[in-house]
Amino acid sequence: MITFESLSSRSDPEWESLVDRSPDALLFHRLSFLSYHSADRFREHRWKARKEGELVAAITLAEFPIPPVGDGSNGMELRSPYGGSFGGFVTAPGLTSADHELLVAGAKEMARDAGARTMRITLPPSPYRSGGDHAEFALFAQGARVAAQEITHVVSLQGGEDEVWSRIHGAGRRGARKAERLGTTARAGNMQDLAELHRLIAANIAAKGNKPTHSLEELQDLFQRFPESMILHVAENDGSLVGGILVFRCNARVALSFYTARAESADANRCMDLLSERAILDSMERGFEWLDLGTTSIGGVMNPGLEVFKEGLGGIPFVRRTWSIDL
């Protein structure tokens, strides 16, 4: 039997210890990561699951309003993740598919008790899951349906430097060399670069009608609290920052290119080829097995130009699914 309990605190050593010993745990599973946002930003639910008294799983969710149902009553949905890229349970090693079904069944009961009408969970794509697809099987078996799916391109860093280099196609290499001929250089970034990088991120995202997931202050906070998990690469031309890639160390095996941004000026031309090349080689040198270049589709619609760019870097397309359960 698996039993559930709610956690009211935004910090918990036992939770962090579970993340430390889980082979597929991600940075986004840490309560210490999710606390980057203010306590009143989300109405959060933190659940711990025990088997024979031992903590074997944990999940964080947040409340979001959903459209009224037929009788006009309002609804609430619980979502995982919030404030991160991926959600779902962080689990101890050795859990079976049957255990995962019990986790989903227990989460459904907890969500009903919280007054939720639906529960929505976005799982990481398969390169993040060394333990297999227990979670997706359990969700389907418990009545979940795929509500959305996106393509994310992930670069394999396995096989040595020559093999990794061989996956970067000619166009990407030529673009990087062109950036260098234009006078662009790439270097490791630091806290002092965040303000200008965030300005570029905000400008790039505003052009699409959105805003960054994190404020500048939140990024600075994450840099201070997780210095080993925030890897910044910046490109400069004639003393000005013209582009950047912020990589998150999700766990020991997978890094995620979370933010990419470039200036609109001519001296930023092809700087993303140079920065991507640097991020790939640096991630390999740090011992990661995969570098996730991020989603290539939005709302289930592929961006063909971005697909060509990422596959030119050796990116392999994987599906990232969002599951929805009616309660």
Reported as a single tens digit per residue, the pLDDT across 21-30 is 999 999 999 9
Name which residue leads in pLDDT, 73 or 231.
231
The pLDDT > 90 percentage for the chain reads: 88
pLDDT at residue 73 greater than cutoff 90 = no
Domain 2-143 has CATH 3.20.20.220: no
Radius of gyration of the chain (CA): 21
- Look at residue 305 in the predicted model and tell me its pLDDT: 94
* Tokens read off for 151: 């393509």
Beta bridge partners of 5: 48
Q: How far apart are CA 55 and CA 13, in angstroms?
A: 12
Burial class, 54, CB count within 10 angstroms (exposed 0-12 / middle 13-18 / buried 19+): exposed
Domain map (residue ranges) of the chain: 2-143, 153-321
Mean of the per-residue pLDDT values of the chain: 94
Peptide bond connecting 65 to the previous residue in cis, omega within 30 degrees of 0: no
* Average pLDDT rounded to a whole number, residues 50-79: 89
pLDDT at residue 172 greater than cutoff 90 = no
pLDDT tens for 272-298 read 999 999 999 999 999 999 999 999 999
* Tokens read off for 272: 């993303």
Nearest alpha-carbon partner for 321 in 62, 95, 139: 139
CATH homologous superfamily, domain 153-321: Gcn5-related N-acetyltransferase (GNAT) (3.40.630.30)
Q: How confident is the model at residue 177 (pLDDT cuts 50, 70, 90)?
A: very high
Q: Which residue type occupies 307?
A: E
Phi-psi region of 300 (alpha: psi -120 to 50; beta: other; left: phi over 0): left
pLDDT at residue 34 greater than cutoff 80 = yes
* Average pLDDT rounded to a whole number, residues 286-315: 96
